[in-house]
């Protein structure tokens, strides 16, 4: 079975279509589980890969969309989202519960419920971005503008550092 036929990938494609995006999920021959692998598989710089990172702030799951060549500045995440408390990384069970996806294929959309989302503004360095699409071998192309619209996320210059 092609990864494009899996329920998680179909959910991402359906969410893209429902939002009016022309993007199509693509299956890659190589793994895109990490930003480095995704960059190689897509033939782009690591910074053009959108990492979907799940954290908890005050017990609430939140999403940080960060460029593949940056790391999330967790101390800035609560303020970027207008939340109180410290940010801590979510474990695999919470990631699956909050997003419906397993780590390595967490898409920025298609979650059971919307998550507060902060987006690394440095993604704007690239005209084309690639985000995970529900499977370690699947991605979809997007832009920073579209990603912001698709997720309802808040752009931040503070949530990521080199």
Predicted confidence at residue 142, as pLDDT, reads: 98
Model pTM above 0.95? yes
Where do the structural domains in the chain lie, given as residue ranges? 3-161
pLDDT lower than 50: segments of the chain: none
Given a contact cutoff of 8 angstroms between Cβ atoms, the answer to whether 141 and 130 are in contact is yes
Selection from 50, 60, 71, 56 nearest residue 158 by Cα: 71
Sequence-ordered alpha helix ranges (H) in the chain = 7-18, 35-42, 77-81, 92-99, 144-151
Predicted confidence at residue 41, as pLDDT, reads: 97
Q: Cα–Cα distance between 89 and 146 in angstroms, integer?
A: 26
Q: Which fold has domain 3-161?
A: YbaK protein (3.90.960)
Predicted confidence at residue 1, as pLDDT, reads: 82
Helix (H, G, I), strand (E, B) or coil at 74: coil
């Amino acid at each position: 079975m092609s990864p494009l036929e899996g329920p998680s990938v179909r959910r991402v494609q359906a969410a893209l279509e429902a939002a009016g995006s022309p993007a199509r999920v693509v299956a890659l021959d190589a793994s895109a589980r990490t930003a480095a692998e995704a960059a190689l598989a897509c033939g782009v710089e690591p910074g053009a890969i959108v990492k979907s990172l799940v954290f908890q702030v005050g017990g609430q799951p939140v999403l940080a969309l960060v460029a593949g060549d940056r790391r999330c500045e967790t101390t800035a995440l609560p303020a970027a989202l207008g939340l109180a408390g410290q940010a801590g990384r979510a474990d695999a069970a919470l990631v699956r519960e909050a997003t419906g996806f397993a780590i390595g294929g967490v898409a920025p959309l298609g979650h059971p419920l919307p998550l507060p989302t902060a987006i690394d503004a440095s993604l704007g360095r690239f005209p084309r971005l690639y985000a995970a699409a529900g499977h370690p071998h699947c991605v979809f192309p997007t832009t920073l503008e579209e990603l912001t619209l698709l997720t309802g996320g808040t752009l931040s210059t503070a949530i990521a550092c080199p």
